[in-house]
């Protein structure tokens, strides 16, 4: 029986650049121990084990739906503050 080993919420990673920040989306992902013994990382769009071909879409969907994305992580630039270094609001 496959089981969830680890999972991470979707999030934006912020990178400081010369005139502010650049945000990169990191989709939610989940590591499942498959029946074949592999422990691949899955996302909403990748649900099939490369080794044995087992489809874990139902387990992945259930886990991802049980951990909703927090409102403040959806658009972090809305919560950015004024930058004195650049004079820009973000």
User: Domain map of the chain by residue range?
Assistant: 3-72
How do residues 34-89 score in pLDDT, each as one tens digit? 888 889 888 888 889 988 999 999 888 888 777 665 555 566 666 655 556 555 55
How do residues 13-22 score in pLDDT, each as one tens digit? 888 888 888 8
CA distances from 49 to 33, 55, 59, 71, 81 (A): 10, 7, 13, 31, 43
pTM exceeds 0.75, yes or no: no
């Amino acid at each position: 029986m496959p089981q969830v080993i680890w999972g991470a919420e979707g999030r934006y990673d912020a990178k400081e650049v010369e005139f502010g920040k650049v945000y990169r989306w990191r989709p939610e992902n989940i590591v499942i121990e498959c029946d074949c013994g592999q422990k691949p990382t899955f996302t909403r769009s990748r649900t099939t084990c490369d080794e044995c071909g087992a489809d874990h879409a139902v387990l992945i969907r259930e886990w991802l739906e049980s951990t909703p994305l927090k409102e403040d992580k959806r658009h972090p630039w809305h919560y950015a503050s004024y930058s004195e270094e650049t004079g820009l609001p973000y």
